[in-house]
Amino acid sequence: MITAAAPPALPMRGAARGPVRWAEAFGDGPQAPLLPAEAAHVAGRPERRTRQFTVARTLARRALGQLGFAPSPLLPGAGGAPVWPDGVVGSITHCDGYTACAVAPAGRLASLGIDAEPARPLPVGILGLTASAAERAGLAQLPPGLVPWDRLLFSTKEAVYKAWYPLTRQWAPLVEMPVTVCPDGTFTTHRDGQTLTGHWHHAGGILITTIALP
Ligand SMILES: CC(C)(COP(=O)(O)OP(=O)(O)OC[C@H]1O[C@@H](n2cnc3c(N)ncnc32)[C@H](O)[C@@H]1OP(=O)(O)O)[C@@H](O)C(=O)NCCC(=O)NCCS
């Protein structure tokens, strides 16, 4: 079943919102037929992966259509990052219960990163692997009970990673993606002397995080 979020949950705000186009779905999500190259890519993969890949491509075509792009295969490239049509930057996320794709003209943004996670605490041990001591101390200062902050921090780091990877082409552990989460729906990260602000949202049992690099 598809449960549309209204208004859209993807927290693209401020400067990022203007050039960004997106499509998102709660629940199982729509599954339009894959293009032949995409179908070949997922042939023989587990059903869950095929479904996630298909919903993501369905939503990606909707988002790209808003930028005027006709359907074309959207395949994973180096490091798993999607190979967008020339002139486009974008990001995809899927977790149980939510899928989204955000895109923008490359002339307007350098990169985009989005991530979604179930709004449940992280499994034991993951925070220690992915967050620095300073970040873990910062989580302890946040108001208890609002959201599972450890999972939110993890999601912000994945969004930052997805935004940086297409620019650097270098794998890096999440612990090296410094993030400060704020309870007002924003987070900040630092890179090359710049402070960048992302946004987070809690909707329908899902934590959704986005960052746009200008
Ligand atoms: C790549 C990564 C960010 C994906 O995040 P995830 O929560 O597992 O999965 P999501 O559904 O949110 O995102 C998957 C999408 O991310 C995109 N993606 C994958 N690798 C990417 C990369 N290197 N750069 C940008 N986007 C990428 C793809 O579009 C993928 O969907 P698709 O395969 O259908 O095209 C994650 O697996 C990862 O490698 N993180 C960094 C490494 C790390 O330290 N991990 C620690 C885990 S304890």
Residue 65 is predicted with a pLDDT of 97
Query: Does the beta carbon of 92 lie inside 6 Å of ligand 1?
Result: yes
CA distance 62 to 79: 24
End-to-end CA distance of the chain: 36
Hey, whose CA ends up nearest to atom 14 of ligand 1? Answer: 93
Residue 213 is predicted with a pLDDT of 92
Query: Does the beta carbon of 59 lie inside 6 Å of ligand 1?
Result: no
Query: Does the beta carbon of 82 lie inside 6 Å of ligand 1?
Result: yes
Ranges of H-type helices in the chain: 14-17, 36-42, 47-66, 126-130, 133-140, 149-168
Residue 6 is predicted with a pLDDT of 36
* DSSP notation for 67-123: TTPPP----B-GGG-B-PPTTEEEEEEEETTEEEEEEEETTT-SEEEEEEEESSPPP
Residue 145 is predicted with a pLDDT of 85
CA distance 108 to 19: 7
Residue 11 is predicted with a pLDDT of 72
* Consecutive 10-residue averages of pLDDT for the chain (214 residues): 43 70 92 98 97 98 97 96 98 96 95 96 98 97 93 98 95 94 95 91 93 92
Q: In what order do the strands lie in the sheet with 179-181?
A: 111-118, 206-213, 194-203, 186-191, 179-181
The full set of domains in the chain, from first to last, is: 2-114 (3.90.470.20), 120-190 (no CATH)
Hey, whose CA ends up nearest to atom 13 of ligand 1? Answer: 93
Residue 13 is predicted with a pLDDT of 60
What SS3 class is residue 212? strand
CA distance 80 to 208: 20
